[in-house]
């Protein structure tokens, strides 16, 4: 960005404007395998700064077509959604005020870390149940914009179910409030002769004219973060007086491509008083489908899994793992992994898959009965099971969560390469689909990979560990993606259940949805963002060649 534009920004913005080498390098990366260097990083101090930024880009877009804004909170996105070659709008420094909890509603800003958000909600024995595995690292801006889900989503669903209000800056540079509207309120909005009225009219028309097509396109899985959720905005088949038009359903998961998120309200849920966990060890997965059928009717709060490769890598790289957790954490991790260490050093085989079934309730007897019922139902299948004692539950969760977080980092000469890390299929297809996917990866010996995920949702995280500078690895990434997503499309799944599209999956949306639905996504983007100023190349206009050219070469 030239000096004249930088100087203009300085007069407009009260916050910080940085473009030194270290800052630009730091903000060239998120948790993905990409590197895209911005021209400047802006830390807005307040809402007016954000409005001024949008106006600045609009005013200069004609002469500088590459100008754009990418909002960023903690930068933990695994698909390249929070990096951009123009202006990064970093919310972590100033938009991090303590959340306000009023009854069962919490109001938060995008730069608040989830760990700090939860500290406030726990004071009233409430929790936001759709937190992701990166709960210790991520911020609320990513939770809203990626439509996050996690270990509790099996029972509670995803972020989209809990958003009650959003305050956003749209492409005209003004602040708007998005919330569910009644039929009367919708008509009033559409009658407005301004930008907001135009948006409501055009989106209403787009949805009503393509209603059946959109409903048919909605993925038939419990979790989805791919594309724009046009099918969730309005349900026309509800009785008169109960129909609601809700643009938060469109903004949640839009990855900052339709506007910039400033503040939001989330509904919270009470924490159950009692819990119990049944651990299932599978030395072969031939009965996995039958086990899933027995587990799901009992309505566990979570149903998680990790494979033997996850255990082996965590054991192999235990020093790095321990360093990441700190002294006390490494002691807990050592205790948690002790059975696996014992099996490994005594020559016993590790289980191919470890399943964690977590039951919760305010009634202790209900929890105990569900565990006993599941044990009984599983007896004919002969899996090895174990009820986790209270202190053991924490250890199993440590293996599940922290081994995943370990794989988000560079380990010695290997790098994580998340690119097929988040597909979703119906749980009844797991036993068919997962082996098909892993067979594809096994044809590429340069890829070490783990399989973990949310079994109850059919949502799997397959994250290879590779030498990212190996030309064979770079060539194989799009080849593997093509083959895997072809399988996911065949089973009517989603290419991303939690992690969103970003640079890596946007090019595959047409394969998942078809050309007509992608055209509707493009039309949606034009309605909200006619000059393409918000987070380009995400959700629409994805360019696989661009993504591959920006794979990082170092960590």
Query: 83-93: per-residue pLDDT in tens?
Result: 999 999 999 99
Residue 288 and residue 383 in contact, taking contact as beta carbons nearer than 8 Å: no
Residue 482 and residue 491 in contact, taking contact as beta carbons nearer than 8 Å: no
Partner residues linked to 10 by β-bridges = none
Domain match, 121 and 228 both: yes
User: What pLDDT is attached to residue 2?
Assistant: 86
Convert the pLDDT of each residue in 168-202 to its tens digit.
999 999 999 999 999 999 999 999 999 999 999 99
Indicate the pairing of strand 40-43 with strand 87-90.
Answer: parallel
Domain match, 479 and 426 both: yes
User: What pLDDT is attached to residue 133?
Assistant: 85
Instruction: Indicate the SS3 state at residue 344.
Output: helix
The reply to whether 17 falls in a domain is yes
Token pair 């009233």: residue: 124
The reply to whether 503 falls in a domain is no
What is the 3-state secondary structure of 94-119? CCCCCCEEECCEEEECCCCEHHHHHH
DSSP string, 121-174: HHTTTEE-TT--TTTTT-BHHHHHHHT---TTHHHH--GGGTEEEEEEE-TTS-
| pLDDT (mean) for 222-250 | 91
H/E stretch holding 18 reads strand 16-18
Q: Which residues contact 36 (CB under 8 A, 6 or more apart)?
A: 28, 80, 83, 84, 85, 503, 550
Query: What percent of the chain shows pLDDT beyond 70?
Result: 89
State the average pLDDT for the chain: 91
State the pLDDT confidence band at 228, using cuts at 50, 70 and 90.
very high
User: What pLDDT is attached to residue 554?
Assistant: 75
Residue 72 and residue 90 in contact, taking contact as beta carbons nearer than 8 Å: yes
Q: Which residues contact 446 (CB under 8 A, 6 or more apart)?
A: 466, 467, 470, 472, 473, 476
Comparing 487 with 242, the larger pLDDT belongs to: 487
Domain match, 329 and 418 both: no
Domain match, 372 and 328 both: yes
Domain match, 348 and 459 both: no
Domain match, 77 and 105 both: no
Q: Maximum Cα–Cα distance for the chain, whole Å? A: 75
Residue that finishes a domain, picked among 218, 241, 269: 269
CATH number, domain containing residue 111: 3.30.465.10
Token pair 């009844």: residue: 428
Domain match, 377 and 303 both: yes
Q: For residue 186, give the nearest of 115, 146, 132, 241 by alpha carbon.
A: 241
Residue 238 has pLDDT above 60, yes or no: yes
Count CA atoms within 13 Å of residue 371 on its CB side.
22
The total of structural domains in the chain comes to 4
| Helical packing angle, 183-190 and 195-209, nearest 10° | 120
Domain match, 378 and 331 both: yes
State the pLDDT confidence band at 301, using cuts at 50, 70 and 90.
very high
The reply to whether 339 falls in a domain is yes
Whole-number Å distance between alpha carbons of 277 and 283: 19
Beta strands in 237-361 (DSSP E): 260-267, 269-270, 274-282, 302-307, 353-361
Instruction: Indicate the SS3 state at residue 318.
Output: helix
Strand ranges across the sheet with 163-169: 100-102, 105-108, 260-267, 163-169, 175-178
State the pLDDT confidence band at 331, using cuts at 50, 70 and 90.
low
Angstrom distances, CA of residue 144 to CA of 108, 148, 166: 10, 7, 9
Convert the pLDDT of each residue in 420-458 to its tens digit.
999 999 999 999 999 999 999 999 999 988 888 899 999
State the pLDDT confidence band at 311, using cuts at 50, 70 and 90.
confident
Residue 395 has pLDDT above 90, yes or no: no
Instruction: Indicate the SS3 state at residue 240.
Output: coil
Domain match, 348 and 438 both: no
The reply to whether 373 falls in a domain is yes
Task: Using alpha carbons only, give the angle 324, 31, 312 rounded to the nearest 5 degrees.
Answer: 50
CATH number, domain containing residue 31: 3.30.43.10
Domain match, 108 and 214 both: yes
Domain match, 9 and 88 both: yes
Instruction: Indicate the SS3 state at residue 317.
Output: coil
Residue 397 has pLDDT above 70, yes or no: no
H/E stretch holding 516 reads helix 515-528
User: What pLDDT is attached to residue 312?
Assistant: 77
Least confident segment among 104-113, 285-294, 369-378:
285-294
Residue that finishes a domain, picked among 406, 430, 463: 406
User: What pLDDT is attached to residue 342?
Assistant: 54
The range of the structural domain enclosing residue 167 comes to 100-269
């Amino acid at each position: 960005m030239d000096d004249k534009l930088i100087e203009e920004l300085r007069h407009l913005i009260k916050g910080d404007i940085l473009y030194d080498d270290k800052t630009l390098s730091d903000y060239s990366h998120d948790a993905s395998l990409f590197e895209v260097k911005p021209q400047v990083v802006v830390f807005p101090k307040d809402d007016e700064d954000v409005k001024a930024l949008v106006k600045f880009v609009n005013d200069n877009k004609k002469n500088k077509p590459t100008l754009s804004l990418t909002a960023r909170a903690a930068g933990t996105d695994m698909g390249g959604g929070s990096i951009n070659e123009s202006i990064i709008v970093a919310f972590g420094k100033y938009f991090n005020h303590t959340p306000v909890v009023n009854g069962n509603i919490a109001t938060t800003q995008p730069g608040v870390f989830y760990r700090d958000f939860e500290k406030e909600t726990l004071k009233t024995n409430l929790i936001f149940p759709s937190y992701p595995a990166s709960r210790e690292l991520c911020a609320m801006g990513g939770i809203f914009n990626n439509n996050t889900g996690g270990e509790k989503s099996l029972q509670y669903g995803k972020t989209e179910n809990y958003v009650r209000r959003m305050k956003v800056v749209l492409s005209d540079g003004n602040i708007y409030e998005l919330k569910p509207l009644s039929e009367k309120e919708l008509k009033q909005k559409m009658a407005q002769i301004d930008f907001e009225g135009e948006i409501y009219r055009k989106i209403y028309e787009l949805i009503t004219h393509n209603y059946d097509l959109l409903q048919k396109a909605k993925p038939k899985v419990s979790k989805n973060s791919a594309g724009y959720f046009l099918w969730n905005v309005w349900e026309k088949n509800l009785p008169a007086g109960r129909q609601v038009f809700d643009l938060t359903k469109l903004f949640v998961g839009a990855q900052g491509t339709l506007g910039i998120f400033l503040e939001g309200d989330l509904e919270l849920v009470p924490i159950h008083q009692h819990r119990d966990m049944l651990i299932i060890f599978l030395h072969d997965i031939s009965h996995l489908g039958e086990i899933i059928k027995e587990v799901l009717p009992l309505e566990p709060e979570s149903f998680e899994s990790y494979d033997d490769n996850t255990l082996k890598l965590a054991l192999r790289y235990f020093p790095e793992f321990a360093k990441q957790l700190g002294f006390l954490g490494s002691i807990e991790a050592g205790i948690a992994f002790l059975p696996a260490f014992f099996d490994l050093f005594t020559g016993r085989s590790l289980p191919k898959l470890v399943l964690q079934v977590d039951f919760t309730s305010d009634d202790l007897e209900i929890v105990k009965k569900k565990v006993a019922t599941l044990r009984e139902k599983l007896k004919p299948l002969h899996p090895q099971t174990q009820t986790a004692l209270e202190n053991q539950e924490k250890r199993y969760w440590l293996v599940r969560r922290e081994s995943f977080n370990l794989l988000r980092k560079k380990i010695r000469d290997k790098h994580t390469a998340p690119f097929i890390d988040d597909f979703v299929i119906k749980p009844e297809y797991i036993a068919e689909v997962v082996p098909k996917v892993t067979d594809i990866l096994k044809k590429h010996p340069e890829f070490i990979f783990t399989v973990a995920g949310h079994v109850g949702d059919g949502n799997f995280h397959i994250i290879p560990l590779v030498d990212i500078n190996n030309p064979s690895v770079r060539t194989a990434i799009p080849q593997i993606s093509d083959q895997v997503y072809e399988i996911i499309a065949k089973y009517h799944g989603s290419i991303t259940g939690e992690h969103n599209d970003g640079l890596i999956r946007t090019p595959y949306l047409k394969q998942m949805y078809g050309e007509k639905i992608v055209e509707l996504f493009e039309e949606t983007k034009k309605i909200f963002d006619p000059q393409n100023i918000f987070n380009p190349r995400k959700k629409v206009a994805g360019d696989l060649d661009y993504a591959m050219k920006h794979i990082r070469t170092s960590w």
